[in-house]
Chains A and B, each alone.
Chain A
Amino acid sequence: QTVVTQEPSLTVSPGGTVTLTCASTTGAVTIDYFPNWFQQKPGQAPRALIYSTSNKHSWTPARFSGSLLGGKAALTLSGVQPEDEAEYYCLLYYGGGQPNWVFGGGTKLTVL
């Protein structure tokens, strides 16, 4: 059973910088896992932020960036805004004979 792990919760001050990570029980996350990141606020559908490790959608604010860091996928928020308080999910692709996409458990980001 593949498990994708994220920090359960993080707290950041307004204007600060925070990095969320996404790890796989199968080993180091690489570009071949096509990491995606999503933001979800209460009562709303998830909103896509980052695809294929570091690519931003047209609507993704510039303060969000994606990367690989120490064998994990990472989402960095620089200059955090109060409206960034939300749940963040990563998504990894597992190819092979039975392609599968697996979400991480989510990180609750508090801006305080």
Chain B
Amino acid sequence: QLQLQESGPGLVKPSETLSLTCTVSGGSIGTSNDYWGWIRQPPGKGLEWIGCIYFTGNTYYNPSLKSRVTISVDTSKNQFSLRLTSVTAADTAIYYCARQPLDYWGQGTLVTVSS
């Protein structure tokens, strides 16, 4: 059974960089024919697709976030990561990782942007 688990700081200061990692178990990123993605959900609001990555490093990003987002992959650790720069309070959200086409999801991790 494929499982994904997000990890990273729960509190980030404004203007700093948000960094999260997703660890995949029960399957291998390096041998999968799937993309791996990040989605976020501000408290009490809807879902927003952030972007995704293939094991080769090929990425697709939400155009509205593209200037601030980087998704990377480490196949040796079976992990992929999200970096979001210059964060503001509007980036406060539950961040989920998932296998694209978003069939398997992590439980999500709340990241709060506050000084």
Contact = CB atoms under 8 A, between A and B. Distances in A.
Contacts of A103: 39, 46-49
Given A36-B101, A36-B102, A45 B108 contact: yes
A45 B49 contact: no
Tell me whether chain A's interface is mostly helix, strand or loop, or mixed.
strand
A47 B47 CA distance: 12
A101 B46 contact: no
A26 to B, nearest CB: 14
Interface size class of A (residues with CB under 8 A): 20 to 34
Interface string A69-112: 00000000000000000000101000000111111111000000
B30 interface: no
Interface string A25-36: 000000000101
Interface of B: 39, 46-49, 60, 62-64, 96, 101-108
